[in-house]
């Protein structure tokens, strides 16, 4: 008998066919994303579950007595309560590596669009307000030759550093839990303290996973250390930043601008003051969202799922 799995997100048909070769599949077919209650109702028989970031906690696991594995279509797995999963011997998997270059592309897009104010000026042109291109109010700041401080030199951080170093001749410095000699060599990057990074970077880029240890890693104290001309970019998770402190820093011109792919609450509330600030470029958490990369992520998640529910070693088991 094939193991039963529940697919909670739409996935490409080729990926679904791969899972169906090995498992009996049920899937969510609603027009809008599955709600928590709907998900809880579908888990009674499931041995495997394919999701993108839905919260996996005691309550959910209590509804899933046969569950063996949860496969996330994302590299981040802050949605997993790993203790609750471990207590029940449930494997959690994620999709590292296949998204590195795509997320790095987007990080560069945020650097460029904040520095050169691209969304703001695009709006100005489309609103018919273009009067004089030599008008100082339209000027931005340079990216090339500036100092990029990367907080979190993982695989994505390094891919961002490569683009910045070799594409824009930026000076790279970084802060990380552990030193990364291979990244230092590749990028001619300096490992610096968090304090020094914040004080001396023209662009401060956050690319850390969200854990208890990185919650509000950047707050009032950290914004106070940044240059007034600093541009802050967050492509990690919204909860790594104290959003109120960020709003204050932007409103009080403590920093120049921010580029944000992620927010504390997602989807972000239309009332969030960040959406009203012209010096903030916002995106709807789309770092990895290209057709190719999302396909690759879904296929990797499917391979993880199938391996886990058929008693094989999944390629990407997450550890604490
Ligand atoms: C990831 O894979 O963690 C990306 O942020 C998309 O959720």
- Give the CATH number for residue 84: 3.40.50.720
Answer yes or no: do 273 and 305 share one domain: no
318 found inside a domain: no
How far, in Å, is the centroid of ligand 1 from the Cα of 87? Answer: 25
Binding pocket residue ranges, ligand 1, CB within 6 Å: 53, 74-76, 99, 287-288
266 in active site: yes
16 found inside a domain: yes
Tens digit of each residue's pLDDT (9 = 90 or more) over 111-167: 999 999 999 999 999 999 998 877 888 999 999 999 999 999 999 999 999 999 999
Answer yes or no: do 270 and 126 share one domain: yes
3-state SS, one letter per residue, for the chain: CCCEEEECCCCCHHHHHHHHHHCEEEECCCCCCCCHHHHHHCCCCCCEEEECCCCECHHHHHCCCCCCEEEECCCCCCCECHHHHHHCCCEEECCCCCCHHHHHHHHHHHHHHHHCCHHHHHHHHHCCCCCCCCCHHHCCCCCCCCEEEEECCCHHHHHHHHHHHHHHCCEEEEECCCCCHHHHHHHCCEECCHHHHHHHCCEEEECCCCCHHHCCCECHHHHHHCCCCCEEEECCCHHHECHHHHHHHHHCCCCCEEEECCCCCCCCCCCCHHHHCCCEEECCCCCCCCHHHHHHHHHHHHHHHHHHHCCCCCCCECCC
319 found inside a domain: no
Residue 303 has pLDDT above 80, yes or no: yes
Answer yes or no: do 275 and 144 share one domain: yes
Please tell me the total count of domains within the chain.
2
Tens digit of each residue's pLDDT (9 = 90 or more) over 233-290: 999 999 999 999 999 999 999 999 999 999 999 999 999 999 999 999 999 999 999 9
Q: What is the pTM of this model?
A: 0.95
Among candidate residues 22, 117, 175, 285, the one labeled active-site is 285
Answer yes or no: do 143 and 232 share one domain: yes
Answer yes or no: do 14 and 151 share one domain: no
195 in active site: no
316 found inside a domain: no
Answer yes or no: do 205 and 136 share one domain: yes
Answer yes or no: do 238 and 137 share one domain: yes
Answer yes or no: do 104 and 15 share one domain: no
Answer yes or no: do 81 and 213 share one domain: no
Domain that holds residue 63: 4-96+291-309
Answer yes or no: do 108 and 254 share one domain: yes
Tens digit of each residue's pLDDT (9 = 90 or more) over 52-102: 999 999 999 999 999 999 999 999 999 999 999 999 999 999 999 999 999
For ligand 1, pick from 50, 71, 92, 103 the residue to mutate: most ligand atoms within 8 Å of CB.
Answer: 103
Answer yes or no: do 259 and 135 share one domain: yes
201 found inside a domain: yes
**CA of 94, closest atom in ligand 1:** 2
- Interface confidence (ipTM) of the complex: 0.88
How far, in Å, is the centroid of ligand 1 from the Cα of 178? Answer: 22
Q: Which protein residue's CA is at the shortest distance from atom 4 of ligand 1? A: 74
Answer yes or no: do 182 and 212 share one domain: yes
Among candidate residues 237, 243, 294, 320, the one labeled active-site is 237
């Amino acid at each position: 008998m094939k193991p039963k799995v529940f697919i909670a997100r739409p996935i490409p048909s080729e990926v679904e066919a791969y899972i169906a070769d090995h498992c009996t599949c049920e899937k969510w077919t609603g027009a809008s994303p599955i709600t928590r209650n709907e998900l809880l109702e579908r888990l009674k028989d499931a041995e495997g579950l394919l999701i993108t970031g839905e919260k996996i906690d005691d309550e959910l696991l209590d509804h899933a007595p046969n569950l063996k594995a949860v496969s996330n279509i994302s590299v981040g797995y802050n949605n997993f309560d790993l203790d609750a999963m471990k207590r029940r011997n449930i494997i959690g998997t994620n999709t590292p590596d296949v998204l590195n270059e795509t997320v790095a592309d987007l990080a560069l897009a945020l650097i460029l669009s904040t520095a050169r104010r691209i969304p703001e000026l695009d709006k100005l042109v489309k609103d018919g307000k273009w009067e004089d291109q030599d008008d100082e109010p339209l000027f931005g700041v340079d990216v090339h030759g500036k100092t990029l401080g990367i907080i979190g030199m993982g695989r994505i951080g390094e891919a961002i550093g490569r683009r910045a170093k070799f594409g824009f001749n930026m000076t790279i410095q970084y802060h990380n839990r552990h030193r990364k000699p291979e990244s230092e060599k590749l990028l001619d990057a300096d490992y610096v303290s968090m304090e020094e990074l914040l004080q001396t970077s023209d662009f401060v880029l956050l690319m850390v996973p969200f854990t208890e240890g990185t919650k509000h890693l950047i707050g009032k104290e950290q914004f106070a250390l940044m240059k007034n001309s600093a541009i802050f970019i967050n492509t990690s998770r919204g909860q790594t930043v104290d959003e109120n402190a960020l709003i204050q820093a932007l409103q009080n011109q403590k920093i120049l601008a921010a580029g944000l792919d992620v927010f504390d609450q997602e989807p972000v509330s239309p009332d969030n003051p960040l959406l009203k600030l012209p010096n903030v470029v916002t995106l709807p958490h789309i770092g990895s969202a290209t057709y190719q990369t999302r396909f690759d992520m879904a296929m990797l998640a499917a391979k993880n799922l199938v391996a886990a529910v058929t008693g094989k070693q999944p390629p990407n088991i997450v550890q604490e």
